[in-house]
Amino acid sequence: MQSNPKKSVNLWLRSEHKPHEARTPITPRSAKILVDAGYTLKVERSESRAFADEAYADAGCDLVAEFAWREAPADYIVVGLKELSADLGPFVHRHIHFAHVYKNQDGWQGFLEQFSLGGGLLYDLEYLVDEQGRRVAAFGYWAGYVGAAIALLQWAAQQSGSNLEALQPWQSRDALQQTVSTSLKPFLSELPKAMVIGAKGRSGGGAVELLERCGVKVTQWDQAETANGGPFDDVLEHQILVNCVFLNSPIAPFTTINHLQQSSRQLSVVCDVSCDPFSDANPLPIYNECTTMHTPSIRILNDENGALDLISIDHLPSLLPVESSNEFADALLPFLLEIDQPEKSVWHRAQAVFEQKCAEAQHGEKL
Q: How far apart are CA 148 and CA 274, in angstroms?
A: 12
Find out whether 214 and 177 touch, Cβ atoms under 8 Å: yes
* The two domains 10-137+321-362 and 140-318 share their CATH topology (first three levels equal): yes
Mean residue pLDDT of the chain comes to 94
CATH architecture entry for 140-318: 3-Layer(aba) Sandwich (3.40)
Lowest mean pLDDT among 58-67, 78-87, 242-251: 242-251
Give domain 10-137+321-362's CATH superfamily.
NAD(P)-binding Rossmann-like Domain (3.40.50.720)
Q: Are 145 and 320 in contact (CB under 8 A)?
A: yes
Summarised one tens digit per residue, pLDDT across range 102-155 is 986 888 999 999 999 999 999 999 999 999 999 999 999 999 999 999 999 999
pLDDT of res. 219 = 98
The confidence band for 365, taking pLDDT boundaries of 50, 70 and 90, is low
| pLDDT for residue 80 | 98
Task: Determine the pLDDT at residue 135.
Answer: 93
Using CA atoms, how far apart are residues 200 and 129, in angstroms rounded to an integer? 19
What are the residue ranges spanned by the domains of the chain?
10-137+321-362, 140-318
Minimal CA–CA distance to 29: which of 331, 343, 350, 287?
Answer: 331
Encode pLDDT of 295-326 as tens digits. Answer: 999 999 999 999 999 999 989 999 999 999 99
Greatest Cα pair distance, the chain, in angstroms, is 69
Helix (H, G, I), strand (E, B) or coil at 69: helix
Average pLDDT rounded to a whole number, residues 337-345: 87
Q: In which band, very low, low, confident or very high, does the pLDDT at 1 lie, cut at 50, 70 and 90?
A: very low
Mean pLDDT of 19-36: 96
What pLDDT is recorded for position 362? 85
Helix H or strand E encompassing 203: helix 202-213
Q: Region of 20 please: left (phi>0), alpha (psi -120 to 50) or beta.
A: left
Catalytically active residues are: 82, 100
Whole-model pTM?
A: 0.88
Closest by CA to 102, choosing from 80, 79, 123, is: 123
Query: Computed from CA positions of residues 281, 287, 288, 293, in that sequence, does the dihedral angle turn out positive or negative?
Result: negative
Phi then psi for residue 329, to 5 deg, are -65, -40
Q: What mean pLDDT do residues 345-359 have?
A: 95
